[in-house]
Amino acid sequence: QVQLQESGPGLVKPSQTLSLTCTVSGGSISSGSYYWSWIRQPAGKGLEWIGRIYTSGSTNYNPSLKSRVTISVDTSKNQFSLKLSSVTAADTAVYYCARDYGGNSLWDVWGQGTTVTVSS
């Protein structure tokens, strides 16, 4: 049973870079036709897809965030990571990592989510 767990600072200052890591357990991040995504949700609002990575290193990003987002993968640690630069209060949200089967916008496994607040 594959499980995902987000980790990282819960508080980030404006203009700094938000960094989160998702650890995959119960299976190899390299096995199967899976992409690995980051999705966020501001309090009381809807879901927003941030981007995804395949274990080959190939990435796709939300056009609205593309200039500020970097997603990377470390197969040796069974982890993938998110960096979001130049953050503002609008980036305050619950951040989820999730497994996307075949890159088909089909997220079948989700982490529990981690809250990141952007504030000085």
Partner 1 sequence: QSALTQPPSVSGSPGQSVTISCTGTSSDVGSYNRVSWYQQPPGTAPKLMIYEVSNRPSGVPDRFSGSKSGNTASLTISGLQAEDEADYYCSSYTSSSTPVFGGGTKLTVL
* 112: contact with partner 1 by CB under 8 A: yes
Q: Is 93 in the site for partner 1 (CB under 8 A)?
A: no
* CA dist., res. 113 & res. 120, Å (int): 22
Q: Count how many Cα atoms sit within 13 Å of the Cα of residue 86 in the half-sphere of its side chain.
A: 5
Closest approach, Cβ 90 to partner 1, in A, equals 16
Which is closer to partner 1, CB of 19 or CB of 101?
101
Q: Does 114 bind partner 1 (CB under 8 A)?
A: no
Q: Does 104 bind partner 1 (CB under 8 A)?
A: yes
Query: In terms of CB distance, is 10 or 46 closer to partner 1?
Result: 46
Check binding of 1 to partner 1 (CB under 8 A).
no
Residues of span 30-69 touching partner 1 by CB under 8 A: 46-49, 60-64
- Between β-strands 114-118 and 11-12, what pairing exists: parallel, antiparallel or unpaired? parallel
With respect to partner 1, which residue has the nearer C-beta, 44 or 120?
44
Residue 9 DSSP class:
-
Nearest 5°: phi and psi at 26? 85, 5
10 Å CB burial of residue 16 (0-12, 13-18, 19+) is: middle
Phi, psi for residue 70 in degrees, rounded to 5: -135, 125
Residues that bind partner 1 (CB under 8 A): 46-49, 60-64, 96, 101, 104-108, 110-113
